[in-house]
Amino acid sequence: MYCEERPGWFWRFLGGLWRLLDGTRRAAVNLLFLLIALALMGAALAGKPKVPSSTALVIDPRGPIVEQLSTSPRDRILGGLTGSASQQETLLKDLLDAIHAGKDDARVKALFLDLDQMGRTGFSKLQDLRAAILDFKKSGKKVVAGADAYDQTQYYLAAHADEVFLHPMGLVLLEGFGGYRRHYKEGLDKLGVEMHIFRVGEYKSAVEPYLRNDMSRETKEALLEVSLVPGRRGGRPEAHPRGRGGDGRRLHGSPARRPGRPRPGGEGRPAGGPGGPPRRRPPAPHRPRR
């Protein structure tokens, strides 16, 4: 007859402890799975949020409006948990879908644009939002915009609302869609200042104001590629706001020409003088007589 030797009390204690830890782990995993399942079931049964019979659709973009978020869902979740979340962004498609849905919803009586926290947004996305707002207004519903302050991108959208509200201590900052550059060559020549500049390539316009009295062909070509002026390659006439009852001509009519600004189809006007401290011509090197 064979009799198996019973393990000592120490090994029996370790075995019992291991079984206790294993059971606790399984119970915790099962409990977590049950909580997740209940949360998903609750979200599915809750359905869509209840909307009153008479309400206003609020569009409240946070940060810049983008076509694709710059971070992944995992990074956004981890950033929110650790408190190091990146800059907020709003998807363009979410805004467009909300505006289109509000147009056909009889419960939505008006559209409110809350532009306080809207960041700098690309011009093409502003055009898409502008078209959606104008399409919403075709339903006969009112559009109202409000903010503590407006920059150019915010006011571009607000200009298409029926009413625009501004805080009494707020401001409106419009930078315009065009610009000009001063050229100093003629003024430097009058002062006897000679510029010593080294550059490589044709599209290097940073130092052109010190070498020319007008824009070069390459600079005009580069600027027209990104221009927002109507009728140019970079913009379209219908892209500029005509809202608030105006015809838009006062916003992008023919501005007064300034020195250095290129004329339509021609060269720019020479600058009248230098705009910064001149650099003196270096003295000639001293050569000793033999």
Whether pLDDT at 285 is above 50: no
> pLDDT of 207-223, one tens digit each?
888 888 888 888 888 77
- Percentage of residues in the chain having pLDDT higher than 70: 70
Cα–Cα nearest to 113, from 121, 2, 208, 31: 121
pLDDT digits (tens, 9 = 90+) for 62-93: 989 999 888 777 777 776 666 665 678 899 99
Residue/partner pairs of 172-181 with CB below 8 Å, 24 or more apart: 173/149, 176/152, 177/228, 177/229, 177/235, 177/240, 177/252, 178/227, 178/228, 178/229, 178/255, 180/258, 180/260, 180/261, 180/262, 181/208, 181/209, 181/215, 181/260, 181/261
pLDDT, position 4: 61
Confidence of residue 177 (pLDDT cuts 50, 70, 90): confident
Per-residue pLDDT of 96-145, as tens digits, reads 999 999 999 999 999 999 999 998 888 899 999 999 999 999 999 999 99
Question: Quick one: pLDDT band at residue 225, thresholds 50, 70, 90?
Answer: low
Its pTM surpasses 0.75: no
Q: In this structure, are residues 87 and 33 in contact, taking their beta carbons and an 8 Å threshold?
A: no
Q: With bands split at pLDDT 50, 70 and 90, how would you rate the model's confidence at 2?
A: low
Residue 182 has pLDDT above 80, yes or no: yes
Q: Tens digit of pLDDT for each residue in 185-199?
A: 999 999 999 888 887
pLDDT at 264 over 50: no
Lowest mean pLDDT among 22-26, 190-194, 255-259: 255-259
Q: Which residues, other chains included, contact 91 with Cβ-Cβ below 8 Å and sequence gap of 6+?
A: 65, 66, 67, 68, 69
**Is the pLDDT at 167 greater than 60, yes or no?**
yes
HSE at residue 239, side-chain half, CA atoms within 13 A, is 20
Domain 55-166: give its CATH architecture: Alpha-Beta Complex (3.90)
Annotated domain spans of the chain: 55-166, 180-246+257-284
Residue 12: alpha-carbon gap to chain centroid: 66
pLDDT of residue 257: 35
With 70 as the cut, is the pLDDT of residue 243 above it?
Answer: no
Position 40 pLDDT exceeds 70:
yes
Q: What local confidence, expressed as pLDDT, does residue 86 receive?
A: 66
